Chains A and B, each alone.
Chain A
Amino acid sequence: MTHTIDFPVKVNLESCIADKGCTVCIDVCPLDVLAIDPATGKATMKYDECWYCLPCEKDCPTQAIRVDIPYLLR
């Protein structure tokens, strides 16, 4: 059984349109922690370095992103 770790930036794969060429969230992230997941073509959090600042969530054209406060701070 494989486990995945919960990262602060959660991408709804149904509504994310990164596979259609959208890179808005990847473009705006100040820490450059988002990237396209080669397996799905969708945006994903590649580096666990989130400042929970929210440009990715606010600027997403399809409201596909939800940023949670990192566990260490919750």
Chain B
Amino acid sequence: MTQVTTVDVLVIGGGTAGPMAAIKARQKNPNLKVMLLEKANVKRSGAISMGMDGLNNAVIPGYATPEQYVREITVANDGIVNQKTLFAYANNSYAMIEELDSWGVKFEKDENGDYAVRKVHHVGTYVLPMPEGHDVKKVLYRKLKQNRVIITNRLVATRILLDGEGKVAGALSFDCRSGEYNVIRAKAVILSTGAAGRLGLPASGYLFGTYENPTNAGDGYSMAYHAGAELSGIECFQINPLIKDYNGPACAYVTGPMGGYTANAKGERFIESDYWSGQMMQEFYEELAGGKGPVFLKVNHLAEETITNIETILHGNERPSRGRFHEGRGTDYRKDMVEMHISEIGLCSGHSASGVWVNERAETTVPGLYAAGDLACVPHNYMLGAFVYGRLAGESAAEYCAATQLGEVDEVQVEAERQRIFAPLAREHGLPPSQVEYKLRRLVNDYLQPPKVTKRMEIGLARFEEIRADIQNIVASNPHELMRAAEVRFILDCAEMAARASLFRTESRWGLYHQRQDYPEQVNDEWRVHVQVKKGADGRMTLFKRALEPYLVEPQEAEKFIYQHLRIRPETVPE
């Protein structure tokens, strides 16, 4: 049975950017029918399902200016940015904080009622703690209801529908409980499906022990690709410094301003700043693998009341099972340093730069298709960036709808996708999705994890092709397993994009994110460009360079120097 629904704006992904996009589309034009489609449940979905412990990139007057922020992120992302998109974030950052505040999201304030901003980055001051940030999703849910957004949960979107002119006509999806096929017609579609968080296999070997919410399998990256959109910076992987095995953030952003820091086995600082960047990850990786490794989060020198405060924040927000993990290992912040490790690789513009290409209006290169949040290429844009770009996407899509007719549905595409999605249910024997996923992600680790080597990535691509054939043999016995089977395809598309984009950029850049052993130098003459991935007219993956837009603000030499000299020099480390 097929369900057909018609709306004006369809938002795919109800985590952070998605709810904001839906709300803002409705506020822009209350006559629009706006649907928020979620694979899980909007109440508790996405990267902030349990809230967030702080803003990493708040641009608040008196502490930071948009110009300074854009310069710093330009340097942090090794020059490969479209500054217009960074400014669109930075200029709207403070208004978004004030709006969220007025909605009931709690930010830390000082005794005068001013935002209590802290310094974690190398240059600017942008971190705003949210010790009571566990209710963000509840606040968003209330606003969705107030603004009469149509919410639909447990739908797995698999493809964007295009009309004969190549503009968006809706999306195809299925219900992961009933197995019902859903065709949703829409004038505009906003993708906000989060990171590709199930790309690499965590060191624990546990498929769902990922840094990102594992619901985020790279769905939107794959859908944007097959719709013909450009993706950018895919070779700039996400790799994060995390608590070993638990795989959640060690939260130097939370502990740093209170005196905590990243240390080696001797308890010594080895990096000047704990702000996550490729350059920082390079130093982290070298210390981890070196004779002074592994790496630890050190807070055991702090006062009891400070540690209690840290525990309250860290064990109550974002990843609240962390305290339980430490308890199981007998780790006490008062006595012990906490062992850290690097994450599996992923794609995520919220932390690095790998995403669907968007301009400063959140438009992709496909008419009627918008992107926001972790999957949209706006480097280092984090949760607040997801909210700001959610707003931009919602407002842009609402404007677009006013001048657009509903696209015709291509019945051939609808039927072909039905065959493709439901095939695993009809097979009598074959491979379980979990095994194909495990093998694929193990191959991602073996062949794509930096440091990157040409031959290794070429072998990886060949093995991925074998997985593509194996996918034709996946069996599923119910709609839940069908969802996992669909996700294996998303992961495979992301793996192939990650390999090809990495091979295309024949230089090293962004520290560990794109460290190529056989091309160790940064080559600015040739590679101060974006690397774009796109599905070609022949159906094959094509890669090409996109020139940088001229900078609106030029980073200063001193700022560049700081990011290039992260390691603490030996003579400055006390014995």
Tell me the A residues contacting B by CB distance below 8 Å.
27-32, 46-47, 49-55, 58-59, 67-70, 72-74
9 contacts between A and B (CB under 8 A): A28-B43, A32-B154, A49-B208, A55-B49, A58-B50, A67-B324, A69-B321, A70-B206, A74-B325
A43 to chain B, nearest CB (A): 15
Cβ contact within 8 Å between A73 and B40? no
Cβ contact within 8 Å between B319 and A32? no
Cβ contact within 8 Å between B480 and A32? yes
Cβ contact within 8 Å between A49 and B207? yes
- In this complex, the member of A51, A58, A68, A72 whose beta carbon has the largest number of chain B beta carbons within 10 angstroms is A51
Q: What A residues does B46 contact at CB under 8 A? A: 30
Q: How far is the CA of A31 from the CA of B483 in the complex (A)?
A: 10
B residues 273-331 near A (Cβ < 8 Å) are 319-321, 324-325, 328-329
Contact A74 to B209, CB < 8 A, known contacts A53-B49, A54-B50: no
Contact A69 to B328, CB < 8 A, known contacts A32-B177, A47-B480: yes
Interface check B247, CB cutoff 8 A: yes
Interface of B, helix, strand, loop or mixed by DSSP: loop
Cβ contact within 8 Å between A30 and B154? no
User: Closest residue of chain B to A27, judged by CB?
Assistant: B41
User: Closest residue of chain B to A55, judged by CB?
Assistant: B44
Cβ contact within 8 Å between B328 and A53? no
Tell me the B residues contacting A by CB distance below 8 Å.
40-41, 43-46, 49-50, 153-154, 176-177, 204-210, 213-215, 245-247, 319-321, 324-325, 328-329, 480, 483
Q: What A residues does B207 contact at CB under 8 A? A: 49
Cβ contact within 8 Å between B206 and A31? no
B22 to chain A, nearest CB (A): 19
A-B complex: 5 closest residue pairs judged by Cβ atoms: A55-B44, A28-B44, A30-B40, A72-B206, A52-B321
- In this complex, the member of B44, B50, B210 whose beta carbon has the largest number of chain A beta carbons within 10 angstroms is B44
Q: How far is the CA of A27 from the CA of B324 in the complex (A)?
A: 24
Q: What A residues does B49 contact at CB under 8 A? A: 30, 53, 55
Q: What B residues does A47 contact at CB under 8 A? A: 480
Q: How far is the CA of A74 from the CA of B321 in the complex (A)?
A: 12
Q: What B residues does A50 contact at CB under 8 A? A: 208
B408 to chain A, nearest CB (A): 33
Contact A72 to B320, CB < 8 A, known contacts A31-B214, A59-B44: no
Q: What B residues does A49 contact at CB under 8 A? A: 207-208, 214
Cβ contact within 8 Å between A32 and B214? no
Beyond A47-B480, A72-B205, A73-B245, list 4 extra A-B contacts (CB 8 Å).
A49-B207, A52-B321, A55-B43, A70-B209
Cβ contact within 8 Å between A32 and B321? no
Cβ contact within 8 Å between B209 and A32? no
Contact A30 to B43, CB < 8 A, known contacts A47-B480, A70-B209: no
Cβ contact within 8 Å between A73 and B154? no
Cβ contact within 8 Å between A51 and B176? no
Q: How far is the CA of A74 from the CA of B245 in the complex (A)?
A: 8
Cβ contact within 8 Å between A74 and B328? yes
Cβ contact within 8 Å between B215 and A30? yes
Contact A73 to B209, CB < 8 A, known contacts A28-B44, A53-B49: yes
Q: How far is the CA of A49 from the CA of B246 in the complex (A)?
A: 15
Cβ contact within 8 Å between A32 and B176? yes
Cβ contact within 8 Å between B321 and A54? yes
Contact A73 to B176, CB < 8 A, known contacts A51-B213, A51-B214, A55-B44: no
Q: How far is the CA of A41 from the CA of B352 in the complex (A)?
A: 45
Q: What B residues does A70 contact at CB under 8 A? A: 206, 208-209
Q: What A residues does B154 contact at CB under 8 A? A: 32
Q: How far is the CA of A29 from the CA of B177 in the complex (A)?
A: 13
B495 to chain A, nearest CB (A): 20
A2 to chain B, nearest CB (A): 22
Cβ contact within 8 Å between B328 and A72? no
Contact A72 to B209, CB < 8 A, known contacts A28-B44, A54-B50: yes
- In this complex, the member of B208, B209, B320, B325 whose beta carbon has the largest number of chain A beta carbons within 10 angstroms is B208
- In this complex, the member of A30, A49, A54 whose beta carbon has the largest number of chain B beta carbons within 10 angstroms is A30
Instruction: Pick the contact of B324: A32, A55, A59, A69 (CB < 8 A).
Output: A69
Contact A31 to B215, CB < 8 A, known contacts A47-B480, A72-B205, A73-B206: yes
Q: What B residues does A32 contact at CB under 8 A? A: 40, 154, 176-177, 480, 483
Q: How far is the CA of A28 from the CA of B79 in the complex (A)?
A: 41
Contact A27 to B43, CB < 8 A, known contacts A53-B50, A55-B50, A69-B246: yes
B433 to chain A, nearest CB (A): 11
B202 to chain A, nearest CB (A): 9
B36 to chain A, nearest CB (A): 15
Cβ contact within 8 Å between B325 and A73? yes
Cβ contact within 8 Å between B45 and A30? yes
A45 to chain B, nearest CB (A): 12
Q: How far is the CA of A46 from the CA of B470 in the complex (A)?
A: 26
A47 to chain B, nearest CB (A): 6
B206 to chain A, nearest CB (A): 4
Cβ contact within 8 Å between B45 and A31? no
Q: How far is the CA of A72 from the CA of B329 in the complex (A)?
A: 13
Q: What A residues does B206 contact at CB under 8 A? A: 70, 72-73
Cβ contact within 8 Å between A67 and B176? no
Q: How far is the CA of A9 from the CA of B209 in the complex (A)?
A: 15
Contact A73 to B204, CB < 8 A, known contacts A28-B41, A28-B44, A51-B214: yes
Q: How far is the CA of A27 from the CA of B329 in the complex (A)?
A: 31
Q: What B residues does A69 contact at CB under 8 A? A: 246, 321, 324-325, 328
- In this complex, the member of A32, A47, A50, A54 whose beta carbon has the largest number of chain B beta carbons within 10 angstroms is A32
Q: What A residues does B483 contact at CB under 8 A? A: 32
B223 to chain A, nearest CB (A): 19
Q: What B residues does A27 contact at CB under 8 A? A: 41, 43, 153
